[in-house]
Structure 1
Amino acid sequence: MFDLAPHPSAPVKRTPTAETFRLGRDRGMPPPLLGDPSEYLVELTDDNDPANAKSWPISRKMRAACVLGFDTLVASWGSSVYSASVEPVSELFGVSRTVAILGLTLYVCGFATGPLAWGPLSELYGRKMPVIVACFVFTCFIFAAATAKDMQTLMLCRFFAGVFASCPLAVVGAAFADLFGNATRGIAIAFFSALVFLGPFISPIVGAFITQSYLGWRWTEYITGIMGALALTLDILFLEETYLKTNLQRRAANIRKETQNFAIHHISEEEVVTPDDLVRKHLLLPVKLLFLEPIVFLMTLYTAFIYGILYLFLEAYPIVFAEKRGINPAVATLPYIGLIIGVLIGCGIVVAFEPRYNRRLEANGGIPVPEDRLLPMMIGAVLFPIGLFWFAWTGNYESVHWLAPTFSGLLTGAGILTIFLQALNYLVDAYLMVAASTIAANTFLRSFFGAGFPLFAVQMFHNLGVEWAGSLLGFLAVAFLPIPFLFYIFGKRLRKFSRYAPTDFGPKPPSDEEIAAEPKEDELPAE
């Protein structure tokens, strides 16, 4: 869903050819530049260089983080606000409920396909431009969905809205990595992840009350479009570029214009991106990682299951609270508040473990300790199935007070966030050099789980009953439960067999103090 810590590969070098280049009439190549070519490179001037977003004042960082956080909230909001529109859309266009649910499914399918483009674009053109373009097009498609006159138009608009909504999910995590260092990045990413999960739980509540009011289901899309327009305005007015490479490229371009010295450039401008490189790096590598790396496959399968449950709840909760207990459909969405509080509890658990992780990171010389990311995930892996069984066996009986299944959301919500977030953090730390491709593989598979689970949720809960449908999910959660414990014990050993997960970073480079303390050659005693 998002790149937590991108690690770009080395620049791609063009293979020299035997071609003789000419610059004009009777003019061949000029003589090589005088001096060291590295003198023409634009780099950071000091630790406080504003091109490096990590050096910004905290107020400037928070302004960018809040704008990007709102972008993320709007994107995730748009996915599930449609759940309240399923019944009226089914009646209006004369289709089955399952077909009407495709408006939700196709939006989440867009989450799977969009990052394949947005990730590379953010590496080439920075974070700001893709976010602004995507936000504008997303808003257009959402308004088009609100005015759709037939089912085909609505479905297509929802799909393409999802494709462009996936941009913040793919780019904002990378922007947070630009803004925050190792000591604070975990907390920032926890905040970002909470927004990713809060959106799908808040919007069904709002959407249900809108749909039931005189406004009707179309206003669920109109309000989402208005939120998208507001996000676009905030992006244009307040969002600054955070990507170091893009900022230095722009600085080099300005210096070239001012000085007319066209040899000045940033090292990234020497890169040559070929179609073959794009295919291997952005399309084939994620597939290889997914199916050839056991850590990536099992972690991705676990997070895909969690993501599927997230969207399955959009169909299961109305069955438990509206159908079983006869609660008004809009009021029956209020139990999502239990899940919302649970997500916030999960966020608190992750933040509470950050100081411990930072101490381990410092003790390891700044080199990530992937297995330490799994401790909060272990807690979530235990809480999650307990919450599912609690929901299943209290939600099935009308005689049980509605607060009982509602409170199960405290455990399931906390489990969802801790498992999902720490699994992604673990994959990034374990696969540093190919982190973007690892997250792309994870995003691709889990988005299809999120798209598919709502399609069979109603039939499963009706045919098996709430108690056994929920228990089936609980048993599956128990089957996944050992994964973080096994990787905590055997993960480092398993990574040693991987081509992509480095375990030996070589000797730690000497610090500046150690270098300064070394005797100079002319200070060495004479023999």
Structure 2
Amino acid sequence: VSFEGPNDPLNPRNWSLTKRVFCTFNVGMIALVVGMAASIDSAVIARAAKDFGVSQVAEALATGLFLVGFGFGALIAGPMSETVGRNPVYFGSLAIYMLFLMGAGLSKSLGAQLVCRFFAGFFGESPLSTVGGSISDMWDPMNRLIAFPIFATAGLMGPVTGPIIGGWISQSLNVSWRWVEWVSIIASGTLLVSLLLFQPETYEPILLQWKASHLRQLTGDKRYVSVAEIQHLSFSARMLTAVKRPFIMTIQEPTIMLWTGYLTVVYLMLFGFLDGYTFVFQQTYNLSDGITGLLFLGIGVGLILAALCLTPLLYRWAKKEITKLQTEKPDGSARIPPEFFLWYALIGAPAIPISFFWMGWTAYPHVSIWSPIVASVFFGFGILSVFVSTYMYLIDMYEVYAASALTMITLVRYVASGGMIEISLPMYKNLGIHWALTMLGLISLVFTTVPYAFYRFGPWIRSKSRFAK
């Protein structure tokens, strides 16, 4: 059993534009809500630490372990959604993640809070990783140039939104710091209801399984089967492959090593700001918790500007490129090379070191606060560019093995980010904001060469890979 031709309405890519846009927005909100839950606790570290009678570094583990849980949750997300479909992962994982958030909010000790936050991150990552699969189900590669940056913007806005909301909770003496968990649960619960009511299944093998089952019931003919039913792999076999292959590919593929390192560095800087903003803005300019959190909007503005400026530009370039290639290869084999997707980073990546040097050496009481705020806009512009290029390049380069490549990137960057939460407090205290940001700027400057190197040598590197197309 397969789809009835290229225009079969059962195929999610043939749904109406309105339906696909709505479904993309619906699952895209998962990235925003779960990302917000990851970072929102960072705004109430001082109050929670005082309540539990522990140091702020110890309480910072509530955010750090959530991110570590994110990383390990990525190992099960792919095979889970490819076995039972996208929607069961969304519904089941979000429900369990919300229960652990509730446990974190009700915890009477630091230990209980940390355990609950870790497992909230573990189960919260599964629906987050599945979103990319849903977008691929609904959009062809050309239209993915528009759909994926929208998802990426929502995903990166999540960690930015958390401190904005959490800052006002931290500042209020009439509201318990535990409301950071209740706000996350309310947002997640609203989203879960929307998914339950309006989100259709999009995974092709599951849709064809349903079709084959329906035809068997109608006709009584057991010969109606889907490809997935013929080539059935047990869940344990899928899990074993999913756990092993990312590590094997990372060892054998320098491409994955370098992009993992680059995106990990970007995330270290992003989550390092959860503590760093206290030093850069609150202490320098004597701001309240709420206003300090509000300044994360600068990064959000940068994310939106990158999506609005680069996406239409590169979509037009892609259409011109594909037209040119179709003229050269009229046999229908024309396809944009993966290196095209590096243009996001080629344009935006330099904004990251620029933002750190700018912010690091203008964050003084005698310099206008607008200077480091504008620098944060450049940071947001840069991180979206690098994120989109990394994912779209690896998806197009590795195709059927892309999930394994992205699993390793997710695992490493979130586990490392969890550690960054712990070291950023002493780093900013010991180095001072000027040298801490200068150091981060120098590190990001070194990694800025990665997209340029792959744009130049990418075809040669792909020719040596046994996994790349």
- With normalisation by structure 1, the TM-score equals 0.85
Q: What are the residue-to-residue correspondences of 1:40-59 with 2, within 5 Å?
A: 42-59=1-18
Matching residue's letter, 1:225: I
Q: What is the aligned partner in structure 1 of residue 392 from structure 2?
A: 425
Q: Deviations over 1:149-171 (max 9, x none)?
A: 11111111111111111123210
Which residue does the alignment assign to 1:222? Answer: 182
2:350 is aligned with 1:389: no
Equivalence map 1:200-349=2 (5 Å):
200-213=159-172, 214-274=174-234, 277-278=237-238, 281-349=241-309
Deviation string 1:168-193 (CA, Å, 9 cap, x unpaired) is 32101110111111221111110000
1:360 match:
321
Q: Which moved more, 1:42-51 or 1:190-199?
A: 42-51
Distance 2:70 2:262 in 1: 18
Q: Quick check: 141-150 or 185-194, which moved more?
A: 141-150
Write out per-residue CA displacement over residues 82-137 of structure 1, whole angstroms, 9 at most, x where no aligned residue: 11121111101111111100110111111111121121111111111110111111
How far 1:357 moved relative to its partner? 2.4
CA distance in structure 1 between the aligned counterparts of 2:380 and 2:447, rounded to whole angstroms: 17
Q: Once the 2 structures are TM-superposed, how far is the Cα of residue 50 of structure 1 from its aligned partner?
A: 2.6
Equivalence for 2:370: 403
Corresponding letter in the other structure for 1:173: G
CA distance in 2 between partners of 1:71 and 1:376 (Å): 24
Q: Is the 8 A contact 2:79 2:235 kept in 1?
A: no
Cα deviations across residues 189-223 of structure 1 (Å, max 9, x unaligned)?
10000011111111211111022221121111101
Distance 2:48 2:308 in 1: 38
Q: Which structure has the highest helix share of the two?
A: 2
SS of aligned partner of 1:216: coil
The answer to whether structure 1 residue 441 and structure 2 residue 400 are counterparts is no
Match of 1:25 in 2: none
What is the CA RMSD across the aligned residues, in angstroms?
1.5
Deviation per CA, 1:285-320, whole angstroms, max 9, x where unpaired?
111221221111111100010011110011111111
Matched, 1:483 2:450: yes
Deviation at 1:447, TM superposition (A): 1.0
Shift of 1:354: 2.1
Q: Is the 8 A contact 1:135 1:231 kept in 2?
A: no
User: Shift of the alpha carbon at 1:249?
Assistant: 0.3
TM-score (norm 2): 0.95
Q: SS at the partner of 1:48?
A: coil
Q: Structure 1, residues 370-424: CA drift from partner, whole Å, max 9, x if none?
A: 11111220122211100010111112x2211211111101111111110121011
Report how far residue 366 of structure 1 moved: 4.7
Candidates 360, 365, 369, aligned match of 2:337: 369
- How many Å separate the matches in 2 of 1:283 and 1:430? 20
Q: CA deviation at 1:273?
A: 1.8
Counterpart of 1:196, as a letter, is G
CA contact (8 A) 2:322 2:334 kept: yes
Q: Which secondary structure state, in structure 1, belongs to the residue aligned with residue 465 of structure 2?
A: coil
Where structure 2 has 5 or more consecutive residues not aligned to the other structure, the ranges are 327-332
How many residue pairs were aligned?
460
Which residue of structure 2 aligns with residue 183 of structure 1?
142
**C-alpha contact 2:272 2:424 (8 A) present in aligned 1:** yes
SS of alignment partner, residue 157 of structure 1: helix
Distance in 1, Cα, partners of 2:204 & 2:431: 54
Inter-partner Cα distance in structure 2 for 1:354 and 1:84: 38
DSSP-derived class of the 1:338 partner: helix
| More divergent stretch after superposition (61-70 vs 223-232) | 61-70
Aligned match of 1:19 = none
Q: Return 440-449 or 192-201, whichever deviates more.
A: 440-449
CA–CA distance in structure 1, aligned partners of residues 272 and 97 of structure 2 = 24
Separation in structure 2 between the aligned mates of residue 411 and residue 486 of structure 1, nearest angstrom = 22
Give distance in 2, aligned partners of 1:368 and 1:303. 24
CA contact (8 A) 1:376 1:422 kept: yes
Find the partner of 2:52 among 53, 73, 93. 93
Counterpart CA distance in 1 for 2:234 and 2:211 is: 25
Specify the SS of the correspondent of 1:330.
helix
Distance 1:358 1:210 in 2: 47
1:104 is aligned, of 60, 63, 75, to 63
- Structure number with greater Rg is 1
Aligned position for 2:24:
65
Change (3 A) 1:70 1:274: closer
- Partner Cα distance (2:239, 2:38) in 1: 29
Q: Is 1:182–1:358's contact at 8 Å kept on the other side of the alignment?
A: no
Cα contact 2:170–2:289 (8 A) shared by 1: no
Structure 2: distance between partners of 1:379 and 1:90: 42
Counterparts in 2 of 1:277 and 1:350: CA distance versus 1, 3 Å:
farther
After superposing the two structures, state which structure 1 stretch, 66-75 or 239-248, moved more.
66-75
